[in-house]
Copies of this chain bind each other. A is one copy, B any other.
Amino acid sequence: MSYETSRDAFYMARAIELAGRAWGQTHPNPMVGALIVENRKVVAEGWHKGPGQPHAEIEALKALDRKRSQDAALYVTLEPCSTEGRTGACTRAIIESGIRKVVVGAIDPNPDHAGRGLEILKNAGIEVSYGTLEEECSDLNLIFNHWITTAEPLLAAKLAMTLDGKFAAASGHSQWVTAEAARDDVMHWRRYFPAIAVGANTVLQDDPSLTSRMDDAVFCPRRFVFDRHLKTMAAQRMPKLYSDQFKEQTCVLCLKSANAERKAAALDAGVGVWELPEDRGHIDWTAFRERCAAETVCGVYIECGPALATEVIENKKADYLFIYKAPKFMADSATPGIGSRRATASMSDALHLENVHHEILGDDVLTRGRLLR
């Protein structure tokens, strides 16, 4: 790595940090961070705060609030936009600012736009480079990158397992598989996604709140319950998801054929109800994706027990996986793992992750990546 490259990486790392200040708050937009460097000093910083708010580059230019110096360089985690949207094209603002050097992290993932921002800047005589911490810059926007290229929500499954791939003891007892650092990390990802989903069994067994609790702040995303026959509406005690202060964020996904009284009870409780078709004993995933897309729910974090994990992994219904591994073995063949009998003949029949990231969380490890189709 040359001196220049390592300096660029240093500033880009800071821009990534800035982007992350709006963690989970920009959907369906990307998180973006930008900064301006003059004479090797960061003189202005900005980040995109959410839909309708100025883009990161504009924020950085506003923060500078004076004419830039001769050597000013702009660092931005994502290629500047070149379309005149609600907030005006960033490329135009950059050109007008007189900045003569722009360093970009990731290219716009939208194939219709990719590279166009760079081109416009270059044509204006600006020195442009891209690819600095590209992977990290792109990894910031797992949801946006998927949404913008597919117009579908990123369905991500989260699993917590022992080293031998088990979710619980043979009795069903599962609290806890992982330790505190990993459970805190789950809060971080709950804050990232605009929606969380669980199966009905998890609601009945664990009565979770599915909120993100970090730094004394509580955030509640949209909450989905996969519950074809609305059995959670027949629980002895009303689950938290249907009765806490955030219950309006909850939506039960059931079949048209589900018991009408239970549907009415859900609506009475103030909870949303989506009636969706069935596919192979589960809510139809395509219909679920379409409904999410229609409501601009661009990402769903599905917290899986063994049955839901089997469904989304074996049938490749999830786009992305978060696997937390605790350094433990249940070493009990009666404990729940994943998979039905699919007669695998060779290791190449395994389902693979790509773009794999590992994070060491105390004694546990998070392995995450895209589930290969």
- The residues of A with any CB-CB pair to B shorter than 8 Å are 161-166, 168-171, 173-177, 310, 313-314, 323, 325-335, 337-347, 349-353, 356, 358, 360, 363, 365, 367, 369
Partner among B161, B333, B352 whose Cβ is within 8 Å of the Cβ of A328: B352
Partner among B175, B177, B331, B347 whose Cβ is within 8 Å of the Cβ of A176: B347
B347, A329: Cβ atoms under 8 Å? no
A-B pairs, 10 with minimum CB distance: A165-B165, A164-B165, A331-B339, A169-B344, A328-B350, A327-B353, A314-B331, A356-B363, A173-B346, A332-B344
CA distance in complex: A365, B353 (Å): 13
Give chain B nearest CB distance to A370 CB in angstroms.
10
Give chain B nearest CB distance to A37 CB in angstroms.
29
B344, A328: Cβ atoms under 8 Å? no
CA distance in complex: A13, B356 (Å): 30
B339, A313: Cβ atoms under 8 Å? no
Contacts of A168 in B (CB 8 A): 347
Contacts of A330 in B (CB 8 A): 339, 344, 349-351
Give chain B nearest CB distance to A126 CB in angstroms.
38
A343, B339: Cβ atoms under 8 Å? no
CA distance in complex: A163, B329 (Å): 12
B343, A328: Cβ atoms under 8 Å? no
CA distance in complex: A346, B335 (Å): 11
Contacts of A346 in B (CB 8 A): 169, 171, 173
CA distance in complex: A328, B321 (Å): 11
Give chain B nearest CB distance to A317 CB in angstroms.
12
Partner among B335, B339, B352, B353 whose Cβ is within 8 Å of the Cβ of A339: B335
Known: A169-B349, A337-B165. A327 touches B367 (CB 8 A): yes
Known: A331-B339, A363-B356. A344 touches B170 (CB 8 A): yes
Copies, count = 2
B337, A337: Cβ atoms under 8 Å? yes
Partner among B327, B333, B343 whose Cβ is within 8 Å of the Cβ of A356: B327
A331, B343: Cβ atoms under 8 Å? no
Known: A331-B338, A340-B333. A162 touches B164 (CB 8 A): no
Contacts of A334 in B (CB 8 A): 341, 343-344
Known: A161-B164, A170-B344, A330-B351. 18 other contacts (CB 8 A): A169-B346, A170-B345, A173-B346, A174-B347, A175-B347, A310-B331, A327-B352, A328-B350, A328-B352, A329-B339, A329-B350, A330-B339, A330-B349, A330-B350, A356-B363, A358-B358, A358-B365, A363-B369
CA distance in complex: A327, B322 (Å): 11
A333, B337: Cβ atoms under 8 Å? yes
B173, A347: Cβ atoms under 8 Å? yes
Give chain B nearest CB distance to A321 CB in angstroms.
8
Contacts of A337 in B (CB 8 A): 164-165, 333, 337
Give chain B nearest CB distance to A161 CB in angstroms.
7
Contacts of A347 in B (CB 8 A): 168-169, 173-177, 328
Jot down 13 A-B pairs with beta carbons below 8 A, ordered by A: A163-B367, A164-B337, A168-B347, A175-B347, A328-B351, A328-B352, A330-B350, A332-B339, A332-B342, A332-B343, A333-B341, A334-B341, A358-B358
